[in-house]
Amino acid sequence: MGTFDLVEKMGHEQVVYCHDKNTGLKAIIAIHDTTLGPALGGTRMWDYASDEAALTDVLRLSRGMTYKAAVAGLNLGGGKAVIIGDPRKLKSEGLFRSFGRFVNGLSGRYITAEDVNINVRDIEHVSAETKYVTGISSRPGGSGDPSPVTAWGVYCGIKASVKERLRKDSLSGLRVAVQGVGAVGSYLCGYLAKDGVKLVISDIDQAKLQKIAAETGAKIVADNEIFTADVDVFAPCALGAILNDETISILKAPVVAGGANNQLQDETRHGKMLREKNVLYAPDYVINAGGLINVYNELVGYNAEKARNQASSIYDTLLSVFHEAEKQNIPTHQASNVIAERRISSVRSIAGLRNSYNNQPWVRG
């Protein structure tokens, strides 16, 4: 499938390729839909196997941001950016400032923030060249690292999922397997441990694992054992595509609710597989919307307590998704898409009516 065919299939408005020979910058910015507002989504840096793999990732991620904002009730569209290369070797002030100039050239259609392998310092370099940046702690009104709010939203989403699937109002005594104890996963472990949850954790970083285990009493297992752990909830908080033919077949948990993006390797097939196995899946872009909620609050006037309280609404949002799935007899990820598309469609129709009204001769006077 050609690039334009892929872009058209996924419904994107704009895809921008960015290149700067002097700094080694190779990046792709994808703007999916701006019906509800400017496209907001983080920038991640990854050493992709190919440019095609980077394009596929950024297109999926940006589309997910559109749905995430729509379901969360935010006046934002969906966008995402990927910088191609090894973050351990390629990072520099010049590279991020060069990227910032490309972001600035979009004149506010895309607003960026941090994502995988991008920290607050990197984003501050981007902000030297553009104002279309969020999540900067040094800027007055900046929110800084969104991970605590993202993790809080995931924690609330786990509570909603447990309420729906296990009919329990409390997490105390339950067993939760957290795959990935990075920025979001580590905060999530802290919230869960305070609630009396028995944790099982895995990660490629042994130092992080030891630290979290010491703080929470979590049991450490190998990454390939996390799927077969005898737990109530599996919470993937690493990279995507981890719900696939192999892992779903061995998964023991009756609930999947975690912070990773694009958890379903194949949205249609693997969402259906989970449903057929009677595993309740909390759609990733719904449960991990806390980070987007956090940076959105920065745009409208940041208040940490307000952002956290708004992220708590993920509990009710997920219950609505579960009920929609039950009503329509469809997988939960499809139900969340329906809710998102319903809101986008309603706003798009209002915009059409507004344009039609403004074009009438009596309006122009």
The stretches of the chain forming alpha helices (DSSP H) are: 3-10, 51-72, 87-90, 93-104, 120-127, 147-166, 183-194, 206-216, 245-250, 267-276, 284-287, 290-300, 304-312, 314-328, 332-358, 361-364
Q: Which tokens go with 149?
A: 């709010």
Question: 288-321: buried (b, 16+ CB within 10 Å) or exposed (e) per residue?
Answer: bbbbbbbbbbbbeebeeeebbebbbbbbebbeeb
Q: Collapsing DSSP states into helix, strand and coil, what is residue 150?
A: helix
Q: How far apart are the first and last CA of the chain?
A: 50
SS (H, E, C) 80-109: EEEEECCHHHHCCHHHHHHHHHHHHCCCCC
* Active site annotation includes 80: yes
Report which DSSP code applies to 243: B
Active-site option among 80, 91, 159, 198: 80
Q: Is the distance from CB of 100 to CB of 129 less than 8 angstroms? A: yes
Q: Is the distance from CB of 288 to CB of 261 less than 8 angstroms? A: yes
Question: Would you name the residues annotated as active-site residues?
Answer: 80
